[in-house]
Every structure is written in structure tokens, then in C-alpha cells.
Amino acid sequence: MDSVLLMVAAFVGYLLFYRFYGRFIGQKIFNLSNENKTPAVEFEDGKDYVPTRKGIIFGHHFTSIAGAAPIVGPAIAVIWGWLPAIIWIFVGTVVMGAVHDFGALVLSLRNQGKSISEITAKYVNPRTRTIFFLIVLLELLIVITVFALVIGIIFTIFPQSVLAVWLEIPIAMVLGYFIYKKGKNLNLLTVLAVILMYATVVLGHFVPINLGAVAGIPTTGVWVIILLVYAFIASTLPVTTLLQPRDYINAWQLFVALVLLVVGVVAAGFSGKLDFVAPAVQLAPEGAPSLWPFLFITIACGAISGFHSLVSSGTTSKQVAKEEDARMIGYGSMLMEGTLSTLVIIAVAAGIGIAYTNADGETLTGVAAWTTHYSSWAAAGGLGAKINAFVVGAANMIAVVGLPKEIVIVIMGVFVASFAGTTLDTATRIQRYVVQELSSDLKVKFFMNKYAATAFAIITAGLLAFSTGADGKGGLSLWPLFGATNQVLAGLALLTISVYLKKKGGVKYLISLIPAAFMIVMTLWALVINERNYINGGNWLLVVLNSAIMLIAVWVVIEGAVAFLGSKPKAVAAEA
């Protein structure tokens, strides 16, 4: 019952914050108005700038920011106890993450759909543009490389998910054709597409695809190559061909999965099977870093994530038809992600206790099940371990309803892989935009071409992926940098939003400045600790890159502080 009460309390809290705080920010802070022409309308080209229905762009934005991160982060952070994890997810989401995503979207809408890097150059100063671009390029490089690997790992662990994930592509393209080319009924087509998607899930259960090694390249490496090739093609197509319809039906897949999870929590909770088996608080797990500050960079996308500012100011701002849609898309999507992370915590802190099979084939229950999986930081730290903890816990809860556990496991595997896929698509497209913007600033004509810029994104990701061997796991060498890099970016984006709001007058900037200060302090603290650990471990690549990230962060913070303190309220009617 504790799990049910926790879920209900969190959901009610998210609804209340959307209703009151989200509306306050939209109306009183940003003064949203449909009289302001959006970039999608102003620069409509049918490829990247496409005015889109609110429901469809919500689906694209949500599935792009969600990916596997709101699952992976909470699934490892629960090792410090479910209570600090759930507090950070809720508080971080409603007053930090949602404000960050919403603000970045609005600023991009009012600046021709430009990226957060270009926007920072405008509101802070031009000196920060190139240095900000560098941290964005690094973050997207890690995201593309690691998310390709995440999908490859899921396909390897759950081969039943492969067929369903790939069949989503033709389903989405047919959906997009009938909506945009033929003008058919969206609601009817949505129902048919979702039914087809879940039919492929059942089909995948009976037709698992085990790819195996090819030409001496391990399975994960083969999948990384295939997925990078796919990402190149997908990210150069017009958004209406694949990106929008695929993300839209993936959003419905999430809604169905969320309903199943909620029903599973209620059914398992009232049946007495869903007790918390994880400790409420565990300050010193074996081998784990300290809760402060590492909780706040371990759970990123489930609370606040700098990557979201790249999506808001990258693909999403180029598709919003009306400015007032930004509240639902920017603020609402982040609350939906917090909802997902809340359910993940319940799955890995309680659901896993219903039944867990260890490496020896022994089925454990209760506290023993959780303790075995989370015996140490190292034991729970691998990507496969994180994903598996959620899939097993979720399947346990949903199976209480009466659905076959084998089918539920496939549903959850497809769910995670599909969302990682949408993030891979979007991150590649955003990297292309970033390379094109930087090339435009530096007058490098070759990389202003979308195919050349996309090739740069894919080739650099491929080089990193295979830098340590044929298994495609090279991205993991930089993965330790991701959490801090991501949260530094979040803090800097919030700082840019604060400078913008300061120029509008009053104390509106406090809604973003306080979260900015918190995130900058937490992440710089974590970066300093990591630097010491990398030096002690002799990992000089991470020492150099981590030092560079710290210097960039401090530099941009100083520039931002100077711009903030020196800015004076002035008319911004053209933007507001």
C-alpha cells in the first residue's frame, strides 16, 4: 500500500504544479501569446520547420527527452535509498527541470528557432558561443554513441524486442503519409497504428532475432553500426516523414505502458505483494560515491537534464505552431517524464522484490532479491543491470494483473529500446544543427550542408564507439563524464534564461536563477571530486576532458554572472 500511496501523492502533485505553477510561468513570467509568430510558421520549409499539432509535437518532444535516461538514472540512484531518489525526482522536476525545458523552448521560439548556444551568445555575450558549442558537441557525441549501444544491449538481452522496434518504422511512415499527404483522420489512424505496434510485440515474442557476431564483430558492435547508419538516414529525412509520426506513436506506446504500470502498482499493492524492499535511506552503499552531490547528477533526465535544452531549442522549437502550446510541450512533457521516473523507482525498489532470478538461476524474493541486485555500486552499475532491474520489476508488477510475464517483458524491452531510438534520432539531428550553426559562424561552407554535418555527427560517434574494440562500447570510456557534463549544461541554460528574464524587469528571473545556482554548485562539486578520482586512478583522458569541462563551466558562469549583474531592464516587445 505504501507504493500505491506514494504513486498517488506524486501524480496529484504533478497535476497541481502543472495547473498552477506551469500556468503562472506561462502567463506571468513569459507572457505567452499566440499573436507572436513562431519559427515553424515564419520559416516553414516542409523539412525542418513544420507547424505541427500540439498533440503530435508533444509526443515528439516527450519521447525525445525521455529515452532510456529517466529509467537508467533512477534505477542506479535507488542504491542510496528510494526516499532521497523520489524527493529529488519530484522537486527537481516541478521547480527545476520543467522550468528549464519550458524556458529553453520559449527563448528558442523567440529567437528564430536557434540553439541554446546561439541564444547564450545573444543574451550573455558572443565570446561564449564557441566555448558553449564545445560542451554541447561533447554531450551530443556521448549521447549518440551510448544510446546506440543501449539499444544494442537491449536487443542482445531481449531479442524478442528487435522485430517490434524495427517494424515501428514502416508503421510510422505509413501513418505520416496518410496524415500529411492524404489528410486522413488522426484519431482513427492513431488507434490502428497502436494496435499494429502491439501486434508486433506479440509477434516478436514468437520470433526473437538473435543477430550474433558478424565478420568477427560482436553482436553489440554490429547493432551499433546498423543503428548509426539508421540514425544518419532518419535524421536527414523531413521531420514529417519519420521523426514526427514515429515519436507520436511512441508517445502512445508510453501512455499504454504507463497505464499498465499504474494498474500493476495498484493490483500488486492491494494484493500485498508490493512492499518496498529497498531501504528508505542508505548513505554508504559499498563502493558508491557520496549521495551529495552525486545523486543530483545520477538522476538527470528524471529531474533536470541539460540535454532537454538541446531538444527544446533544436527540433521542437522548429515545429511549434502556436506559442501558447509551449506550456504543455515544455512544462508538461517534463512532468510526464517525472511520472515515468516515479514508476521506475517503485519498480526497482518494490517490484523487483516480487521475484528476481540471479546469475545462478535461483529465484529470490523480498529484501534478498533487491540486495542481490544492488549488493554494491559495481554490481548495479552496468547499463544492462540498470535496464534489467526496471524490466524485471515492472514485469513483476504488471504480471499480477494476469498478463503473461513473458509478453510483459517484451513490452517493457520494446518500450525502453523505442525511446532510446527516438533520442538517438533526435540527438543526431540536433548535432547536425549544431555543426551547421557553428560552421555558419566560422564560415566553413562544407559543413553547412546537412549531409556533411550529419556525416560528421555519425562518423565521430562511430570512431568513439569503436575506439576500444569491435564491441562498440567505446562510448562507455566517456560515459563517466556524461552526468556532470549534462548537468553543467542544465545550469548554464538556466543561467541564460535568467539573464533574459532579468532584462524583462522585476524579479521574474528568480524562478530560473535559484535552480541555476543549485545545479552549478552541485555539478562543479561533483566535477572536482571526479577530477581527484581520475587523477588517483591514472585515467588521463578523463582528467583532461573533465578539466576542460570545469574550465568551460567556470568561464561561462563568470560571463553569465557579469551579463546578469550588468543587464538592465529594457523593452523586449519584439520577443515577448
At 382-423, the pLDDT tens digits run 666 677 788 889 999 999 988 888 888 888 888 888 888 888
- pLDDT for the residue numbered 508: 92
The set of residues, in sequence order, having a beta carbon less than 8 Å from that of 87 and lying 6+ positions away, is: none
Residue with cell 513562431: 38
Cβ-in-10-Å burial (0-12, 13-18, 19+) of 2 comes to middle
What pTM did the predictor assign? Answer: 0.90
Share of the chain above pLDDT 70, in %: 97
The strand ranges marked E within 447-520 are none
Chain segment 473-505, per-residue pLDDT in tens: 998 888 788 888 899 999 999 999 999 999 888
Residue with cell 560517434: 461
Q: For the chain, which residues make up each domain, given as ranges?
A: 2-206+216-276+287-566
Whether residue 352 has pLDDT greater than 50: yes
Distance, in Å, from the CA atom of 56 to the CA atom of 5, rounded to the nearest integer, reads 32
C-alpha distances (whole Å) from 392 to each of 67, 233, 346, 353, 388 are 18, 33, 12, 10, 6
Whether residue 551 has pLDDT greater than 80: yes
* 53-57, 361-365, 390-394: range with lowest mean pLDDT: 361-365
Average pLDDT over the chain, rounded to whole? 89
Which stretch of DSSP H or E encloses residue 518? helix 510-537
Chain segment 156-167, per-residue pLDDT in tens: 888 999 999 999
Whether residue 573 has pLDDT greater than 50: no
Whether residue 251 has pLDDT greater than 90: no
Q: Are 402 and 267 in contact (CB under 8 A)?
A: no
Residue 94 corresponds to which cell in the numbers above? 516541478
Which stretch of DSSP H or E encloses residue 357? strand 356-357
Nearest to 136 by CA among 117, 155, 121, 151: 117
Chain segment 196-216, per-residue pLDDT in tens: 999 998 899 899 998 888 888
- pLDDT for the residue numbered 380: 59
Chain segment 294-350, per-residue pLDDT in tens: 999 999 888 999 999 999 998 899 999 999 999 999 999 999 999 999 999 999 999
Mean pLDDT of 551-572: 80
Residues in the chain: 576
Amino acid letter for position 478: L
3-state secondary structure of 228: helix
* 33-42, 333-342, 555-564: range with lowest mean pLDDT: 555-564
Distance, in Å, from the CA atom of 142 to the CA atom of 415, rounded to the nearest integer, reads 22
| Local structure of residue 560 (DSSP, 8 states) | H
* CATH entry, 2-206+216-276+287-566, from 1.10.10, 3.40.50, 3.40.1350, 1.20.1740: 1.20.1740
